[in-house]
C-alpha cells in the first residue's frame, strides 16, 4: 500500500467492536459538493502555470509560488474531506476525521434523543443536507455532520437501526 493510499484511508473497520457483534450499517462520505472548491483552486493553479511563460521574467516566480500554494491547499482540503467519515453501526454512530492527527467521536444509539436534518435550498437541489444530533449528554464530540448525501435515506437508516435495537418502542396512538 502506497503513502497516498495510507493517507487517504481512515481505517474505519479498526474502530468496530467486532467481539460485541458490531457491524457497519452505513459509511457516509461527504457529498461531492465539498470537492468543488478544491477543484476550482486547482483550476486556478493550472491557469496561473499557463500564464508563467508570458510573465515578465523578474516576477515569474510569483505565479509559481501562488499556484503551488493553491494546489497544496486544494489537496489538503480534498484529503481532509475524503478522510472525514460518518459511520452508522447497529450499536452506535461515530465520526472519524483528520489528516495528520485523527479525531474519533462516538455516540451510542441509546444517547440519541433527536436528529435534525437541515437541507438548505442548494442542498435540496444538489441532494445533500446536514445532520444535527441532540443527545442526553451536555457536551458531545458528535453534533454536526455536514454535507451528507441523500440525508433523508441516511436519517431513515439511523431511525431503523434505533428501532430494531429495541431502544424505542413502537409508537402507540
CATH of the domain at 20: 2.30.29
Residue 168 contacts residue 114 (beta carbons within 8 Å): no
Give the contacts of 84 (CB within 8 A, at least 6 positions apart). 10, 29, 30, 95, 96, 97
Instruction: Please give the residue range of the domain that contains residue 59.
Output: 38-77
Number of domain units in the chain: 2
43, 68: one domain: yes
**Does 131 map to a domain?**
yes
Q: What is the pLDDT of residue 120?
A: 96
Q: Residue 91 falls within a domain, yes or no?
A: yes
Identify the CA nearest to 132 among candidates 149, 160, 150, 113. 113
State how far the Cα of 64 lies from the Cα of 71, in Å rounded to an integer: 10
pLDDT band at 5 (very low <50, low <70, confident <90, very high): low
**Residue 49 and residue 117 in one domain:** no
Condensed to tens digits (0 to 9), the pLDDT of residues 51-104 reads: 988 888 888 889 999 999 999 999 999 999 999 999 999 999 999 999 888 899
Q: Which of 77, 107, 133 is the last residue of a domain?
A: 77
Does residue 61 belong to any structural domain of this protein? Answer: yes
Structure letter (DSSP) for residue 52: G
The grid cell for 57 is 521574467
Least confident window among 4-8, 88-92, 126-130, 147-151: 4-8
Same structural domain, 71 and 143:
no
Beta bridge pairs of residue 70: none
Within a domain: 169: no
Contact 104, 96 (CB under 8 A): yes
Q: Half-sphere exposure (CA, 13 Å, Cβ side) for 49?
A: 11
Residues 61 and 98 in one domain: no
Are 90 and 152 in a shared domain?
yes
Q: Which of 6-20, 80-94, 120-134 has the lowest mean pLDDT?
A: 6-20
Amino acid at each position: 500500500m502506497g503513502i497516498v493510499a495510507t493517507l487517504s484511508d481512515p481505517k474505519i473497520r479498526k474502530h468496530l467492536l467486532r467481539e460485541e457483534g458490531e457491524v457497519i450499517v452505513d459509511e457516509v462520505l461527504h457529498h461531492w459538493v465539498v470537492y468543488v472548491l478544491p477543484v476550482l483552486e486547482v483550476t486556478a493553479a493550472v491557469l496561473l502555470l499557463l500564464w508563467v511563460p508570458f510573465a515578465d521574467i523578474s516576477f515569474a516566480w510569483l505565479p509559481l509560488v501562488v499556484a503551488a500554494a493553491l494546489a497544496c491547499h486544494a489537496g489538503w482540503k480534498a484529503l481532509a474531506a475524503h478522510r472525514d467519515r460518518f459511520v452508522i453501526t447497529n450499536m452506535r454512530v461515530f465520526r472519524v476525521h483528520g489528516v495528520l492527527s485523527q479525531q474519533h467521536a462516538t455516540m451510542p444509539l441509546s444517547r440519541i434523543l433527536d436528529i435534525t436534518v437541515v437541507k438548505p435550498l442548494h442542498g435540496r437541489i444538489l441532494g445533500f443536507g446536514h445532520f444535527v444530533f441532540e443527545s442526553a449528554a451536555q457536551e458531545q464530540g458528535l453534533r454536526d455532520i455536514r454535507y451528507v448525501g441523500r440525508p433523508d435515506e441516511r436519517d431513515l437508516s439511523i431511525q431503523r437501526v434505533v428501532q430494531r435495537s429495541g431502544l424505542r418502542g413502537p409508537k402507540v396512538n
